[in-house]
Amino acid sequence: MKNVVFVAALGFLLPCIHAQTPVSYDSIRVCCLNPCNGAILPLNTLEINGSGNGIPNVNWFVQSDDNGCVLIPGNVIPGISNGTITPVLKDTTPLRGLDLYDLALISRHILGLEPLADPFKRIAADANLNGSVTSFDLSEIRKRLLGIYSEWINANEFRFVDTSYVFPNFTNPYPAPPSTGNSTVKNIGFWAVKTGDVNCSESTDSAEIWHNLPFRTLEMRDEYVKNGDLIKVALYPGKSAEWYGLFFNLGIDPEKLKLLDLETGYLSNWNTDGFGVFADHITGLWFAPSPQWIQSSPIVYFKFRILQSGWLHDAIRLREETPYMRSYGYSANAAKMKLKLEFIKPQKSASAASNWSNIRAYPNPSSDAVVLTFDQKETDNACLMLFDAFGRLVWQSEKDLTDAYQELVIPAEAFSENGVYSWRLQSGKWVETGKLWHTKP
């Protein structure tokens, strides 16, 4: 009796996983299952490759039934003398289930902090199909999330494992397991493992869930800019908090702004590899293997050339129209949150003739250092002073202000007690003042 060989190939990672069934005139039902919850994933097509009287060495495609499985007609089977059957899943939303928390979990695995618990997670994490989980996989997934890759370079959206296969070592799918023996089953099942999705969020990600997520804010100072100006703008969290990571998709109107450069702020483990720069938007992704305390301080700076006069809030926004490319973050307890962008109105100076504009002190209230940012017309030496609630000078610093955009930092050590403080910025005849509220963590 001739055999038809059913193969679920994982590229060259797991090339031998398959199931065999003897030739029969009965239909054979092939299903793909989600390894996270056992739900059936609808097959787009089924590729049947083989040789024999019934099928030459070509692919044959059939549509899935209402349940998402495929029934192979009995009159097709006996014509195959030696063939393979491979499921095909083409997700119309390929980024569904992929996000920065997958990167955080993979990095924890690489560092030995929390090994991935089962072989399916490790198969999903191996994005470059080299048979192991390394920092190169982090790079591949990060590029996909940033939009630099529109598809996987070495992998497919899904990889498949025969449901009848038992891993000898449940925590590790490597090396490639041997093929299974003969089987008389007429129902063939495959686990469909989505590349990159190690936290199984593909099965729970939806527009409704996104709509109900809580949110945190990113902030940017607003200002009126003129055609031909060169400006440097900072992006920062609205409040200090612990984060696992954040992703933003910043829309830029190419008729109003041209990005000249970007640089990271105080997050030391974030570099330009964490950004995607495109004609009308900029994507940025930062993550950590463990929650990190992020201050309400600049995390990235953008340098723009102004192409059309107007307010910044009319030229910059967070893009919402692309599903699964919206801006979000993960809190310390691994809860996903939407990000919203708020523009901070420029603070009017005490004097219309002041040398400084767009003055902002943040965070305020603060439990850490405070950053004072402003634009200036004339460069000069300036003194920044801090006074306690009784008017006593508790800290001061002098600096030559040579750039049009300035950031001055009042260190956390300057605030010895909880309460209200006053700051004073003075340069020659120019003076600006403000209030701060400080609380010890």
CA dist 397 and 409 (Å) reads 9
Classify residue 366 by its DSSP letter. Answer: B
Q: Where are the alpha helices (DSSP H) in 117-219?
A: 119-125, 135-146, 207-211
So what's the pLDDT on residue 105? 96
Contact 233, 221 (CB under 8 A): yes
The pLDDT tens digits of the residues spanning 294-342 come to 877 789 999 999 999 999 999 999 998 777 899 999 999 999 999 999 9
Q: Which residue has the tokens 């120019």?
A: 430
Residue 115 has pLDDT above 60, yes or no: yes
| CA angle, 217 then 220 then 224, to 5° | 140
So what's the pLDDT on residue 19? 36
CA dist 382 and 441 (Å) reads 30
Contact 384, 423 (CB under 8 A): yes
- Which helix or strand (DSSP H or E) is residue 317 part of? strand 316-318
- The region of weakest confidence among 19-23, 77-81, 226-230, 368-372 is 19-23
Domains, the chain:
1-96+113-200 (no CATH), 206-345 (2.60.40.680), 349-441 (2.60.40.1930)
Q: What is the residue-averaged pLDDT of the chain?
A: 79
Strand bridging mode 257-264 / 300-306: antiparallel
DSSP letters, 226-291, are -TT-EEEEEEEESS-EEEEEEEEEEEE-TTTEEEEEEEE-S-TT--GGGEEE-SSEEEEEEEEEEE
How are the residues of the chain apportioned to helix, strand and coil, as percentages rounded to the nearest 5?
A: 10, 40, 45
Q: State whether residue 303 is helix, strand or coil.
A: strand
DSSP letters, 372-405, are EEEEESS-EEEEEEEE-TTS-EEEEEEEEE-SSE
Residue 133 has pLDDT above 50, yes or no: yes
The pLDDT tens digits of the residues spanning 49-69 come to 554 444 433 344 455 566 677
The pLDDT tens digits of the residues spanning 14-57 come to 322 333 333 343 567 778 888 888 888 876 666 655 544 444 33
The pLDDT tens digits of the residues spanning 267-282 come to 878 988 999 999 999 9
Of 325, 281, 299, which Cα lies nearest the Cα of 245? 299
pLDDT more than 70, % of the chain: 77
The pLDDT tens digits of the residues spanning 55-113 come to 433 344 455 566 677 776 666 555 444 556 667 777 767 788 899 999 999 999 999 99
Per this entry, what is the length of the chain?
A: 441
Contact 43, 68 (CB under 8 A): yes
So what's the pLDDT on residue 232? 86
The pLDDT tens digits of the residues spanning 240-267 come to 889 999 999 999 999 999 999 999 987 8
So what's the pLDDT on residue 76? 58
Residue 122 has pLDDT above 80, yes or no: yes
Q: State whether residue 77 is helix, strand or coil.
A: helix
Residue 185 has pLDDT above 50, yes or no: no
Of 183, 227, 220, which Cα lies nearest the Cα of 300? 220
User: Which residues 6+ apart lie within 8 Å of 68 measured at CB?
Assistant: 31, 32, 40, 41, 42, 43
So what's the pLDDT on residue 73? 67
CA dist 17 and 9 (Å) reads 7
How are strands ordered across the β-sheet holding 28-33? 70-72, 28-33, 187-194, 158-162
CA 275 to chain centre: 10
Contact 297, 369 (CB under 8 A): yes
So what's the pLDDT on residue 257? 96
Tokens coding 82: 């030696």
Positive or negative, the CA dihedral 6, 10, 12, 17 is negative
Question: Pick the residue with more confidence: 193 or 9?
Answer: 193
Of 324, 338, 246, 327, which Cα lies nearest the Cα of 291? 246
